[in-house]
Chain A
């Protein structure tokens, strides 16, 4: 049998279902691969060897008993450490949750288990999903399999790197300002941010509640769609979950793969193809646009002037919500506790715990958010940012009256060297310049590999109206059929 770790999820599921391999065999192959490369990649914070093998055995037993298996049964999945996993360490990349084993599963994790997928372990991330390079993980950075001296994007760099390093065929990420799409772009993998409310946030450790969206990561569009279908859909435990059936993203991906985009209208966001992006990124993007046009798509340029304000609005809304969401990490009920020597007051213990447990980027955002919500400043900062959010939504709505989907480069630049942007937070924030508007609007966005620039992957982003996730899968699959997938050099 050829190398199981090089296969798509679809292929693995078919082999397991047909009895040509077992889920245990598939799992062992991936665990071996992790053992072989992860000391260099550092995609995983925790590998759940026993749990993965037990889950794989259960799938094999169900198959042996003649039970019908779901479309991804027996396929390994790497889960970003932002999702609560019962009995399995969940740190959110932070020291403050070191050693915490949640007593419950996130809805998405439960759905993954129900579908018979095999959770390999938990992947590295910027602390509390705040960052664009995984360098802000309290447990050290993840390295980009394309070039180990470079960042794999963030915050979900662990999930993206695990895919690119063939440690897992599928992964789960979460996208608050681009944390699925931007790592996808810089690692040559596919990352989809579903419509906000299309995937459950129950069990997703919150960074910014109104923006956080868990979603699928894969090495190809169809696999991402299959994973999306397994994890998506209404969840009564998440009040913001949309109580409607989700669009058929798998059918859309299959339709797109035929390479026909006749009648599809695409809008290039003018503001994102100017001077903001690197030349190599723009070259790959332009070539992709030509490919899309050749497949029958009608491509126009559309101006979305308020997108220029997305970054500042985001950096008020997300920190404001995080300043409140992260208040619960105080050493009283779970996780790290520092300074509890029997003499210090509760307040001192809380302060010492938070001082020791949070990293610099998390502290920076908690302080910005606390300030922005303060009495007397609320209207000027948080209130104003919400107004900008409304305007950005209007730009999207107006654009979607003219086109079916918007396209842009996913990021302005390819994977940068580790350490290159940590000195200046703003330089780091620019990595999400093109992905943030979608989060503020709440619609879906996907990054699909569209070429290489100086040997490094470039991603193209497709943005669709809310609850029209199928449209972005169709366009992404079509592009993939034209440009193919990209394989990094051997590790």
Chain B
């Protein structure tokens, strides 16, 4: 594919994007959706299985009440109506990672409907409408061996691991999101980020995209202004927030180039590639399976007691948006400053650093400065940078105690990020401590004065600004391990000048 893509600005000037997101969240229940097998990530293949999640003849599912409670809480947090009565449905299709060759899911009677989630994009609030939130079981995992791509095509063997089969999965589907124009990729990302934060706040999933406990499919279409919506594609394999944004943008560009050339968009599933940022076609939806949904006869309907739902609603924790507004006030940040904290994904990190004893300003300085820079350079999320809020607080404590100056603190932080240990350990091991022994410092100052008589004269004659040159010389001889402010005071004192 060497097609030249149009410029993004031109695309959004000509076309209006419509996007939609389907997000799957693996619930962190102790046991699977329909049996008592454990749900922990990892484990030798096919060790966390039983007759039920293997779909052995005769076995029957029993719904996990903790999972139903979790999805109701998610629905409530997303402002949904909770069905008073609904059923599971069977989605029938043959695939070896589905033990029964049908998936227990929900079809026309989802448990949560008609909600919304407000997200902040570029200082504006965008309301994302939620169509439905439903509960289903996860499939196993297929590993294709022997091919070049790891896909089934060209593989000589396929191995199936059913450990994941039957883990409770919540699917959250938005209504089509329109009118976002050039911001569509940012809106998509902000929505997934906000959704992740909400679910994490509820404590019902660890929502880790890299482990697949939060997975996202992105629907994208383009239409001319005023025209009907275009044909949409569904992009799968979108495994990070950054990828959500890139996938929408990439698909908008690709579709625009097809439409510009007079072509038609094929309704299909596409795969996003993290390395290239491109999408490539998967299976075509034109030959889509007829899933033959029908109500699951092995399970009684779900009929949550309205009083119980009301209790769950009353007990919801403070949700991220409200929480952030409170933090912004506590930290005394402007909307713009708060926005940059959000964009950097630093809210919780700063909050935890402050909780560990640092001022909001200092916490924010480290996370948005040095650590954000390192995260960008390495292409990782800030939360995964390798430094913890406790370590950052410890570092700032050393600065506040006068043991590290700013430059030394940054060096120590590098060590922390590189996994060399705690700030105190690194300070010791690298021999980085402020020279506070005034005897040694006075000697260094005297040496600098003696070596630079001209500058010393200027200072004596009142040109105090010239002291900077002598400070530099002292810092050089102490290999930076002196506090610049103390050095400056000492120079002026030795030269008998008032600072």
Chain A residues within CB distance 8 Å of chain B: 83-84, 90, 92, 97, 100, 102-104, 106, 201-206, 208-210, 236-240, 320-321, 323-324, 327-330, 332-334, 346-347, 350, 370, 373-375, 378, 382
Contacts and interface: CB of A to CB of B under 8 A. Distances in A.
Interface in B133-162: 158, 160
B300 A373 contact: no
Q: Is the interface of B mostly helix, strand, loop or mixed?
A: loop
Nearest to B101: A327
A332 B96 contact: yes
B58 A102 contact: yes
B290 A374 contact: yes
B62 A239 contact: yes
Nearest to A203: B58
23 contacts: A90-B58, A102-B51, A102-B57, A103-B56, A104-B56, A206-B58, A239-B61, A239-B62, A239-B63, A239-B298, A320-B294, A321-B294, A323-B292, A324-B90, A327-B92, A327-B94, A327-B101, A329-B57, A346-B158, A370-B292, A374-B290, A375-B290, A382-B294
Contact of B292 (A208, A237, A240, A375): A375
Contacts of B58: 83-84, 90, 102, 106, 202-206
Nearest to A201: B60
Nearest to B97: A332
A438 B92 CA distance: 28
B102 interface: yes
Contacts of B158: 346
Contacts of B290: 374-375
Contacts of A330: 94, 96, 101
Contact of A333 (B60, B99, B293, B298): B99
Contacts of B160: 332
B298 A203 contact: no
Contacts, number: 100
A373 B92 contact: yes
Q: Is the interface of A mostly helix, strand, loop or mixed?
A: loop
Contact of A92 (B57, B99, B298): B57
A201 B298 CA distance: 9
The listed residue with most B CB atoms (<10 A of its CB), out of A90, A202, A205, is A202
A125 to B, nearest CB: 14
A202 B100 CA distance: 15
B415 interface: no
Contacts of A209: 297-298
A104 B62 contact: no
A291 to B, nearest CB: 39
B385 interface: no
Given A203-B59, A204-B58, A239-B62, 7 more contacts: A84-B51, A102-B56, A238-B60, A327-B102, A328-B55, A328-B57, A332-B160
B298 A240 contact: yes
Contact of A210 (B59, B62, B99, B297): B297
B54 interface: yes
A100 B56 CA distance: 11
B299 interface: yes
Nearest to B35: A237
Contacts of A100: 57
Nearest to A332: B96
A334 B162 CA distance: 14
A321 to B, nearest CB: 6
A330 to B, nearest CB: 6
A330 B54 CA distance: 13
Contacts of B294: 320-321, 324, 373, 378, 382
Given A205-B57, A328-B101, A240 B92 contact: no
Interface string B289-329: 01011100111100000000000000000000000000000
B300 A240 contact: yes
B338 to A, nearest CB: 48
A257 B294 CA distance: 45
Contacts of A102: 51, 56-58
Contacts of A206: 57-58, 298
B443 to A, nearest CB: 81
A7 to B, nearest CB: 32
A323 to B, nearest CB: 8
Contacts of A237: 60, 62
The listed residue with most A CB atoms (<10 A of its CB), out of B58, B63, B102, B294, is B58
Contacts of B63: 239
A113 to B, nearest CB: 16
Contacts of B51: 84, 102-104
B371 to A, nearest CB: 48
A288 to B, nearest CB: 35
A236 B297 contact: no
A334 B292 contact: no
Given A324-B92, A330-B101, A90 B298 contact: no
Contact of B100 (A106, A320, A328): A328
B273 to A, nearest CB: 25
A8 B226 CA distance: 83
A374 B101 CA distance: 16
A178 B293 CA distance: 27
A239 B300 contact: yes
Given A103-B51, A324-B294, A239 B57 contact: no
B300 A328 contact: no
Interface string B83-118: 000000010101010011110000000000000000
Contacts of B56: 84, 102-104, 333-334
Contacts of B61: 239
A346 B100 CA distance: 16
A106 B54 CA distance: 15
A374 B102 CA distance: 15
A289 B290 CA distance: 51
Contact of B60 (A239, A320, A347): A239
A236 B62 contact: yes
A104 B49 CA distance: 13
A327 B100 contact: yes
Contacts of B297: 208-210, 240, 321
In the A-B complex, list the 4 residue pairs whose CB atoms are closest, starting with the nearest.
Answer: A327-B101, A209-B297, A373-B292, A210-B297
A329 B290 CA distance: 19
Interface in B147-201: 158, 160
A380 to B, nearest CB: 14
Nearest to B50: A104
Nearest to B157: A342
A205 B101 CA distance: 15
A86 to B, nearest CB: 10
Contacts of B92: 323-324, 327, 373
A208 B59 CA distance: 13
Contacts of A239: 60-63, 298-300
A205 B54 CA distance: 14
The listed residue with most B CB atoms (<10 A of its CB), out of A238, A239, A333, is A239
A240 B59 CA distance: 13
B182 to A, nearest CB: 38
B206 to A, nearest CB: 28
B162 to A, nearest CB: 9
Interface in B50-80: 51, 54-63
A100 B90 CA distance: 26
Contact of A328 (B99, B293, B298, B299): B99
Contact of A334 (B57, B96, B298): B57
A202 B294 CA distance: 21
B60 A202 contact: yes
B10 to A, nearest CB: 40
A409 to B, nearest CB: 29
A239 B101 CA distance: 20
Nearest to A369: B292
Nearest to B90: A324
A237 B160 CA distance: 26
Contact of B54 (A324, A333, A378): A333
Nearest to B156: A342
Given A103-B51, A327-B94, A327-B100, A97 B57 contact: yes
Given A240-B300, A324-B102, A373-B294, A84 B62 contact: no
